[in-house]
Structure 1
Amino acid sequence: MPEAVGRTDPQRRARFLDAYVQSLIDRDVRQLSEIQRKGELRRLVRLLAARNGTLIAAGSLESELGLSRPTIARYLQALEEIFLVKRIPGWSRNLGTRATATPKLFFVDSGIAAQEVGTDARSLLRPAGQFGPLLESFVLSELARQLTWSRHQAELSHYRDRDRYEVDAILESRQGQIVAIEVKAASTVGTDDFRALRRLADRLDDDFIAGIVLYTGTTTLPFGPKLRAMPVSSLWEVASVRRSP
């Protein structure tokens, strides 16, 4: 968010992000939905930030919020309509199964998610911190944005099978071709990071176009047919192509 990035003082940036979220709740959400108790909605936003990048079902939030499932579902829909959060469905070849699969939720702006859970640059470096979920959220949001102007039409979803093999992002064309993307918050990548991608490649055969692990390193590395590790920065950087004179 440019307004937040432009505030170099951390306290001013934090105040801006808090005020921005509160403004969304006070103004935009109330225009879209009959929200009576704003405090409950504010608690929901913080709870969702703590679960950023995970599978979210309205029923799983009932006990923590003390709200009914229909109310939570209505709140989630309102937050999605004002582009604070986004949900992506679970991928399946069966469209009926896909429609009923538990969606994964992420914050459209990872800076807001970081503010909601009280994360700063120092705490991102701590083991078991929020860096992984925030990086995944950033990548998913970037993919969703780029799909709006891409020449290739594709749907964004996530993958998880009964054996708990998971892939963070699935890009599927209308012809059924798949690019699968994993996000790793580390500067090194190993063969184990491609386990779920290999499983999906075996299942899809020729429809599997590429499997990519995005990581925080700086080099693109091959890990077998159709498998690559690539820097996260490849999402916005275009490699220069040297042409022969």
Structure 2
Amino acid sequence: MTDYRRRILDDLLDELADELPAIEIYGAKGVGKTATALRRARSAIRLDSDQERSLLAGDPERIRRLDHPLLVDEWQRFPASWDLVRRAVDDHVGSYLLTGSAVPTSAPTHTGAGRMVAFRMRPLSLAERGVETPTVSLARLFDTSADIDGSTEVGMPEYAEEITASGFPDIHDLSTRARTARLEGYVHAIVQRSFPEQGLVVKKPRTLRSWLTAYAAATSMTVTYSKILDAATPGEAEKPARSTVQAYRDVLDGLWILDPVPAWLPTRNHLNRLAKSPKHQLADPALAANLLGIDAGGLLSGADTRSADLREGTLLGALFENLVAQSVQVYAESADAHVGHLRTERGEHEVDLIVERRDGRIVAIEVKLSTAPTDHDLRHLHWLKQKLPDLVADLCVVTTGTYAYRRPDGIAVIPAALLGP
């Protein structure tokens, strides 16, 4: 475990583990859940093993007898383990870490509300990858004294490389060819193994692959699912039924492969007529790039034009926003905040990311490929500040530039590599 990359979630676990008797870490397969949990566990039950499942089924008291903290790994493979942990917690026996890569096909008999606390682990954020030392804290942007400074040599070529390198820890540091093979194997495993494990046998794997590819082409957009289906099946008279596509989405959601940014629908202000559609994104922009068959060089050259009608702007811009959004989601959880996007119904105004704290205060973020955003780029941030002056804690634009600084109009300009938790 000497090569372990410390995760931002580690800080939360350090803070809360002694007070919480049971913590679930969930997320897509391969994001690093087990490695993080093992650093805190004294023993483990690996339920992706047939033998371990049989042992626990025949002797449920093992969950109490083994050394604690106890890791129950891939608990969804034996859903009864959830209730075994819950009852042990009720009886004040031991402490537990649970990891899960999918929503179980059969739900536990009790939710564990009030006993079990869950945190999502996403692929490595930019800060966790170590591409740069962040100088601007997302959490501090809620504080009027936030410092906005620092510089970086990370530029467009490095961001394109990080988009395709993947945030899966075991993939990120591989050679380009090995990464491509691993990502292709990841997609193949989802279609061929994960879907059947979730109770859905895909009769036409090619159709599912085409739908996933069209979804990837719609990254960072709010286009309708019917448009995504049309892009997946061009010229085909007999398209998959809506129920079939819904089943695809349900399984992919349950595997934590889809990670759309939900629409921000505030309850503490008077903004009206906001769109409710999510912004489409996969858990890792490298999956989208792999599905679309493009590498870092292709992104930089603007070579990809497939399904371009599903998005505005370049694919590089869409995937860069995906990379930033995925990182901001990681930082926001550390700040006890959640992330959405804002778009008015007619599209007159939109803000890429809204980070909202529990007190209702927000940080609004635009994501731009440019190194020096213009006044026109930031018009929606000014509009939002005018509409919600009491709720906006800060306005910022995340760029591919060199310097972090605050503009004369008060908007913070932050290179993506310099933003951290």
Tell me if the contact between 2:404 and 2:418 (Cα under 8 Å) persists in the aligned partners: no
Whole-Å separation in 2 of the counterparts to 1:113 and 1:26: 18
Whole-Å separation in 2 of the counterparts to 1:25 and 1:72: 14
Flag the structure with higher helix content. Answer: 1
1:202 pairs with 369, 386, 410, which one? Answer: 386
Rg (Cα) greater in structure: 2
Structure 1 residues 10-52: Cα deviation after superposition (integer angstroms, max 9, x where no partner): 3332121111111122222222242432222111111111111
Whole-Å separation in 1 of the counterparts to 2:314 and 2:265: 31
Structure 2 length-normalised TM: 0.51
Greater relative contact order (CA < 8 Å, ≥ 6 in sequence)? 2
Report the counterpart of residue 25 of structure 2 in structure 1. Answer: none
> Comparing 76-85 with 55-64, which one deviates more in the overlay?
55-64
Name the count of aligned residue pairs: 233
Instruction: Report the CA distance shift for 1:219/1:114 in structure 2 as closer, same or farther (over 3 A).
Output: same
Is 1:126 aligned with 2:293?
A: no
Whole-Å separation in 1 of the counterparts to 2:347 and 2:252: 32
Q: Structure 2 stretches of 5 or more lacking a match? A: 1-167, 234-238, 303-312
Report the counterpart of residue 7 of structure 1 in structure 2. Answer: 174
Whole-Å separation in 2 of the counterparts to 1:121 and 1:36: 31
Is 1:139 aligned with 2:324?
A: yes
SS in 2 for 1:193: helix
Report the counterpart of residue 360 of structure 2 in structure 1. Answer: 176
2:188 pairs with 22, 26, 40, which one? Answer: 22
Structure 1 runs of 4+ with >4 Å offset: 97-100
2:336 pairs with 150, 153, 161, which one? Answer: 153
Is 1:107 aligned with 2:107?
A: no
SS in 1 for 2:266: coil
SS in 1 for 2:412: strand
Tell me if the contact between 1:220 and 1:231 (Cα under 8 Å) persists in the aligned partners: yes
Tell me if the contact between 2:259 and 2:281 (Cα under 8 Å) persists in the aligned partners: yes
Structure 1 length-normalised TM: 0.85
Report the counterpart of residue 31 of structure 1 in structure 2. Answer: 197
CA shift, 1:177, in A, is 1.0
Report the counterpart of residue 54 of structure 1 in structure 2. Answer: 221
Flag the structure with higher strand content. Answer: 1
Whole-Å separation in 2 of the counterparts to 1:99 and 1:160: 6
Tell me if the contact between 2:195 and 2:202 (Cα under 8 Å) persists in the aligned partners: no
SS in 2 for 1:54: coil
Whole-Å separation in 1 of the counterparts to 2:281 and 2:296: 20
Report the counterpart of residue 257 of structure 2 in structure 1. Answer: 84
Instruction: Report the CA distance shift for 1:54/1:100 in structure 2 as closer, same or farther (over 3 A).
Output: closer
Tell me if the contact between 2:332 and 2:355 (Cα under 8 Å) persists in the aligned partners: no
Task: Give the CA RMSD over aligned residues.
Answer: 2.4
Q: Structure 1 stretches of 5 or more lacking a match? A: 239-245
CA shift, 1:174, in A, is 2.1
Tell me if the contact between 2:211 and 2:229 (Cα under 8 Å) persists in the aligned partners: no
CA shift, 1:207, in A, is 0.5
SS in 1 for 2:390: helix
Report the counterpart of residue 103 of structure 2 in structure 1. Answer: none
